[in-house]
Amino acid sequence: MQLICESTRFSDYLAESKEVNYNNPIIQQKVTNLFTPSQTEIEKVEIAFEFVRDEIAHSWDIQSKRVTCTASDVLTYKEGICYAKSNLLAALLRSQGIATGFCYQRLMLFDTPEKGYSIHALNAVYLETLQRWIRLDARGNKTGVDAQFSIDTEQLAFAIEEEFDEKDYPFIYVKPNSKTMIVLEEHTDALEMYKYHLPQSI
């Protein structure tokens, strides 16, 4: 799939925001722990991706009611759904001057169309050394989900099943989708939110 940038300015993909708050002290402390000047760009991306994928729990997987949104909250509580985890990955990488955007898929919420659909969030990262974007999904692996870091063959958490009306959106957005952020801000029970209130389209 050909990825399409929302903005032609790389600086837009490095910006700090309320959700991608990489100057927050807790983010800066983690940045110091994760990264060293000797690491290459690709090494930093892989380290950040695997940290968010493996060390930050997906709220639904652990059946937690806590709702997190900002990168600093996700890191503080070490949990969040995909919308929140993508904010943290963007914050970690943008802090290193690595352009990072937001991508989306429309997926079945569970295992059949009758159970509804939801928008799933992941990230796109620009590797300057390779002069191209790659997509990474730090949602968190489990049985049936095996997302990996790869600069060759994309290996995301979910394969699109077009016959079930799932969709891969080709755009790389500068900011997290407003619908995804509003749903996090408006709810206090992550399990109820996940089952009944996730947006179905961007």
For the cut 90, the answer to whether the pLDDT of residue 107 exceeds it is yes
Does a structural domain hold residue 202? no
* pTM over the 0.85 mark: yes
Is residue 201, in this structure, part of any structural domain at all? no
pLDDT classification of 70: cutoffs 50, 70, 90:
very high
Domain tally, the chain:
1
Residue 166 lies in a domain: yes
Torsion sign over Cα 98, 102, 107, 109: positive
Instruction: Give the residue numbers spanning the domain of 17.
Output: 4-196
In a domain, 105, yes or no: yes
Quick one: which of 148, 41, 56 has its CA closest to 93?
A: 41
Q: For 81-101, what is each residue's pLDDT tens digit? A: 999 999 999 999 999 999 999
Mean pLDDT of 63-73: 98
pLDDT at position 111 is 83
| CATH value at residue 104 | 3.10.620.30
Residue 110 is predicted with a pLDDT of: 87
Structure tokens at 69: 């949104």
